[in-house]
Chains A and B, each alone.
Chain A
Amino acid sequence: MRLAAQPSDVAGSKGTRRLVASIDSSLTAHHDAYGHLPVNRHGLAAASDLAHRVDVAGLRGRGGGWFPTARKMQAVAGQVKRRRQRPVVIANGMEGEPASHKDSLLLTRSPHLVLDGLQLMAQTMGARDAFLAVPAGSPAIPVLQLAMLERSSAKLDAKQPKLLIGPDRYVASEESALANAAGGGQQLPQFAPRRHESGLGRRPTLVNNVETLAHLACIARYGPEWFRQLGTTASPGTTLVTVSGIVQNPAVLEITVGTTVSDILSSVGGTTQPLQACLTGGFGGTWVAASAATAGWSPEGLTDAGGVVGASVLGVIGHGTCGLAETSRIMWWLASQSAGQCGPCRFGLAAVAASLGQLTALADPVTAHERLRHQLGLIPGRGACRHPDGATRLARSALHVFSGEVDHHLHGRCTAPQSRCELQVPAPGIVPARQPKRGR
């Protein structure tokens, strides 16, 4: 059953419409579509045995890591016990990945599912504070404000969550950035303190993607066995995926985890040209060859093909495009999104983007290619966060998947010199100057 084919509209066959059951985002429509959460004797949402249900359901985080949610909850519960501090829970709706629209769509269409999930998580973890983080300018903000008003009038939530409006930049969606912002600091990635040091003034913090919390709200209602009816054994359930590039109908879909790439492409009307390659996971993800179309959309399904689910983005390009040119544009954007805190990222990503640009533009390509390989080796693992690692991984995947194109370029030719880039990439802006620090 499909909605009109606008970008960022949700389509999906009947039965895989778990997360966006209604066009109406009101509390009444939410309860009509999903029913009420089970309540305890105080009339508040019951969170008893939720951690166990989440474990049995096998829910994995939908923010990019696909880490088992139950294990994440246990890890933070352990910190809570050791430090004897109540935790903070944060719903991550920052969606820094520009090619992803699933989180903003979920928040504007099903805000109450996310808010149910956040409430349940806050209660289960015994949280002192609950935040929902979204970027400044997000269309979800007025929807969320209204939804929170509806809930407080209906006295639904024991703990009122706070809206945390963060800067609209890539690294602001990183977990330590969120934890720091929730504690009153800058929303920038933090270098991990020594493991045996506790707190550094920051409470144990549990960050979950908004989609993860929406699934959690469904598991609380319908149970783990229901959740496992769809998806794979290793990665149960459904997931949202943003599809863009040379497809008939770019859209956000809800799919059963494990659906093949080719089936996903069919659901959006197929490609408008023969497929050259797919970008999986978004700008922080990896390229895969067209032959990977038989791979299932799940962490385990994509790994063999060299792909990643990541932010659950699928971008496709045709043969009329130069893969190196596409990647070059993305690399410049990634470089400009560096927090500017760590030298290898701040300088290294710009250097890689420049070298890749020279290879793409056939400007002394052989030297540029050597320099690029050397620079890529210097960068990973040397920053406070994994942004430079992701960017490096993308560049390496491009050199691998587009190796034929690389060969042409090394000989001074490009297969698509007049190509218009097919993936929408925001303009890079200015590569950042060093950020002034407000103390340690």
Chain B
Amino acid sequence: MKLIVDPVMCAGYGSCHELLPEVIDLDDWGFPLLRTPGPDRTSAQVPPAVERHAKRAAAACPKLALRLER
């Protein structure tokens, strides 16, 4: 499962970090920082063990800035 952060939609609420800290950290300014990003730093692979947490994080984002792809 791939997680994509849309940087234009993102407003830095930080709920994604609360719900999925294994994948998402926050930078100095409160914006999502992917711990192990892919070739571009706006997407990362989600470990299978936390896939359901990733779904909750995506649903909880007030700006719907997180996308999940298989």
Interface residues of A (CB under 8 A from B): 190-191, 194, 341-344, 347-348, 351, 374-375, 378, 380-384, 434, 440
Q: Which residues of B contact A (CB under 8 A)?
A: 4, 6-12, 27-31, 33, 37, 40-42, 67, 69
Question: Which residues on the B side are within 8 Å of A343 (C-beta)?
Answer: 7, 10-12, 27, 29-31
Q: Are B40 and A344 closer than 8 Å at their CB atoms?
A: no
Please, how many angstroms separate the alpha-carbon atoms of A103 and B13 in the complex? 41
> Can you name the residue of chain B whose Cβ is closest to the Cβ of A191?
B8
Q: How far is the CB of B56 from chain A (nearest CB, A)?
A: 22
The complex places the Cα of A375 from the Cα of B28 at a distance, in Å, of 8
**A440 contacts which chain B residues (CB < 8 A)?**
9
Given A378-B27, A381-B42; A344-B8 close (CB under 8 Å): no
Instruction: Specify the chain B residue showing the minimal Cβ separation from A347.
Output: B29
Interface centre among A344, A351, A378, A384 (most CB of B within 10 A): A344
The answer on a CB contact under 8 Å between A344 and B27 is yes
Please report whether the interface of chain A is mostly helix, strand, loop or mixed according to DSSP. Answer: loop
When chains A and B are docked, how far (Å) is the Cα of A343 from the Cα of B41?
13
Contacts of B8 in A (CB 8 A): 190-191, 341-342, 384
CB pair A382 B12 closer than 8 Å? no
- Does A344 contact B69, Cβ atoms closer than 8 Å? no
Residues in B with CB closer than 8 Å to A434 are 11
- Interface pair B7/A383, CB less than 8 Å apart: yes
Closest chain A CB from B32 CB (angstroms)? 9
What 7 A-B pairs come out closest when comparing CB atoms?
A343-B31, A381-B41, A347-B29, A342-B7, A341-B8, A191-B8, A382-B41
> Given A191-B7, A347-B29, A381–B12 Cβ distance below 8 Å?
no
CB of A62 to closest CB in B, whole Å: 26
Chain A residues within an 8 Å CB radius of B29: 343-344, 347-348, 351
Which residues on the B side are within 8 Å of A348 (C-beta)? Answer: 27-29
Contact call B41/A351, Cβ cutoff below 8 A: no
Using CB atoms, name the residue of chain B closest to A380: B41
CB distance from A326 to the nearest CB of B (A): 26
Smallest beta-carbon distance B58→chain A, Å: 15
User: Given the complex of chains A and B, what is the CA–CA distance between A374 and B28 in angstroms?
Assistant: 10
Cα–Cα distance between A194 and B9 once the two chains are bound (Å): 15
A-B residue pairs in contact (CB < 8 Å), sample of 8? A341-B8, A344-B29, A347-B31, A348-B28, A351-B29, A378-B33, A384-B7, A434-B11
Whether B42 contacts A382 by the Cβ 8 Å rule is yes
A344 touches B31 (CB 8 A): yes
Measured between beta carbons, the chain B residues less than 8 angstroms from A374 are 28
Given the known inter-chain contacts A347-B29, A351-B29, please indicate yes or no for A342 contacting B10, CB distance below 8 A.
yes
Nearest Cβ on chain B to A141's Cβ, whole angstroms? 30
CA distance A322 to B5 in the complex (A): 39
Residues in chain B near residue A347, CB distance under 8 A: 28-29, 31
CA distance A191 to B4 in the complex (A): 11
A340 nearest CB across to chain B (Å) = 10
> Beyond A344-B29, A378-B33, is A191–B40 a contact (Cβ under 8 Å)?
no
Best-surrounded residue of A342, A375, A440 (most CB of chain B within 10 A): A342
